[in-house]
A and B are shown apart, each in its own frame.
Chain A
């Protein structure tokens, strides 16, 4: 009997029907902020067990069968885009920023080794008199970069004009939230204090031997400084334990959609995809995270 059960399990796994969930979802996370908490959804995964890709908005829109070259997360869910991308476990997250035209990304976008948008080398002048160290020196306006090398190695951190061309998938965003060695990289005043819905991506090695990839989608407005401060805190202290983190496009762009893996033994009764965050603004780029088969 046990042997028969094992045979069934092996048959299921070989036919691709038995796939363990690689993405762990905390749907009711609370981010402590001054005067209360901010509701958020956190997606956690082992970065070595998922495939991360950057998709231009027009590619997602084409799958949805719409005329526009930009599409919102909500519309992508409504048009069953996730199922069209893959039958397996998949997470679709809103990407970076766009120009005044929603279908044209702002800054670097590399998808499948193809450069579809050139890097933004624009810099912001430093103000030595500023009390915030981040603002004292010259920096890139789009300071953050998500980079996936051809071998699947993922890095999240500061944009580097000399190394970005090694990326097979890349998205330039702003700002860097958590800098090297897990320090807060945004200022408490100015840009850092404006409250919007946020999407942030971070990497951490706090738990386990492999790098953890974490995606945060807030359901309430939060300032970048509050978000970054919480992300740097250790997991044991109620934080996210991030060593590097970057901010993606926020406000109504903020959104994610998740499609669980097929239920073992049945493709017909697969759960429908679930969406998180506002996700109503048409986007020029997406992050597509798939569980490795």
Chain B
């Protein structure tokens, strides 16, 4: 009796399910027919469809996130994370330093350059800047120290206002400003004449090379000391604005446009 009643219960159940799915728009009637005629195949198709359309899309990013966090996918996410961190820093900086002045409306981007040098080697950075774009540099901090008692810093580098670094611009490293040990809050604007020099020197389009070169006297002292005994730290903020510096249109402008 029990073996005869069981299939009939099952049939009743699947008939109820078929009646319920029939109400699903578009695909409901087809599923109903499938459940009543070839149930196994229909359930298999439904399972595959549920996996492809629901489970797989949810699991894929979860698995990827777990693998990235565990370092299995190397550090592919780090450039992205660094970009996000930089973006947050830029936002904070613009919020705190430019909000009151109202300049942030024209600001393209803002960056803090933290240069560490052994006093011998020049360093170069490249910024995405279009020709004639308004750019300002502001020296925030300058530190020079020795980590060797035998490598004393001479009086000539200690006096207030002594130049320590030359900030050059463009592919030919045209001297823009000299950074002294007396950092101040003055902003240095790339004027039209400086831009003209950079463009005339054959600078690459859309890129502005910024170089930091220790002055000859510092280089001499650093060379005399053991390499790494001197540390020069220069913190400079760069503001790149969306507008251009006023300039007369001429051959220089045409060269890059």
Q: Does B35 contact A (CB under 8 A)?
A: no
Residues from chain B with Cβ under 8 Å of A111 in the complex: 149
Residues from chain A with Cβ under 8 Å of B160 in the complex: 119, 121, 161
Q: Does A15 contact B (CB under 8 A)?
A: no
Cβ A119 vs Cβ B158 within 8 A: yes
Residues from chain A with Cβ under 8 Å of B153 in the complex: 115-118
Q: Which of B146, B181, B182 is the most central at the interface, judged by chain A CB atoms within 10 Å of its CB?
A: B146
Shortest distance between the CB of B163 and any CB in chain A (Å): 13
Shortest distance between the CB of A49 and any CB in chain B (Å): 27
What bracket does the count of chain B residues touching chain A fall in?
A: 20 to 34
Cβ B147 vs Cβ A125 within 8 A: no
Cβ A122 vs Cβ B142 within 8 A: yes
Cβ B149 vs Cβ A116 within 8 A: yes
Query: Which of B143, B181, B184 sits near A106, CB closer than 8 Å?
Result: B143
Cα of A112 to Cα of B146 in the assembled complex, Å: 14
Residues from chain B with Cβ under 8 Å of A109 in the complex: 145
Cβ B114 vs Cβ A116 within 8 A: no
Q: Does B22 contact A (CB under 8 A)?
A: no
Cβ A103 vs Cβ B147 within 8 A: yes
Cβ A104 vs Cβ B231 within 8 A: yes
Interface residue ranges of B219-243 to A (CB < 8 Å) = 231, 233
Shortest distance between the CB of B166 and any CB in chain A (Å): 18
Q: Does A123 contact B (CB under 8 A)?
A: yes
Cβ B146 vs Cβ A100 within 8 A: no
Q: Mark B129-169, 1 if CB is under 8 A from A, else 0.
A: 00000000000111111111100110101101100000000
Count of chain A residues with Cβ under 8 Å from any Cβ of B?
29
Residues from chain B with Cβ under 8 Å of A114 in the complex: 149, 152
Cα of A111 to Cα of B152 in the assembled complex, Å: 10
Residues from chain B with Cβ under 8 Å of A101 in the complex: 116, 231, 233
Cα of A79 to Cα of B153 in the assembled complex, Å: 30
Cα of A101 to Cα of B153 in the assembled complex, Å: 19
Which residue of chain B lies nearest to A125 when distances are taken between CB atoms in the complex? B185
Q: Does A255 contact B (CB under 8 A)?
A: no
Residues from chain B with Cβ under 8 Å of A161 in the complex: 160
Q: Does A56 contact B (CB under 8 A)?
A: yes
Cα of A58 to Cα of B233 in the assembled complex, Å: 18
Shortest distance between the CB of B159 and any CB in chain A (Å): 9
Residues from chain B with Cβ under 8 Å of A59 in the complex: 149
Q: Does B191 contact A (CB under 8 A)?
A: no
Q: Does A105 contact B (CB under 8 A)?
A: yes
A-B contact pairs, 29 of them (CB 8 A): A58-B147, A58-B149, A99-B145, A99-B231, A100-B114, A100-B233, A101-B116, A104-B143, A105-B143, A105-B145, A107-B143, A115-B152, A115-B153, A115-B158, A116-B145, A116-B153, A117-B143, A117-B153, A118-B143, A118-B144, A118-B153, A118-B181, A119-B158, A119-B181, A121-B181, A121-B182, A121-B183, A161-B160, A165-B158
* A interface residues, Cβ below 8 angstroms from B: 56, 58-59, 69, 99-101, 103-107, 109, 111-112, 114-123, 125, 161, 165, 284
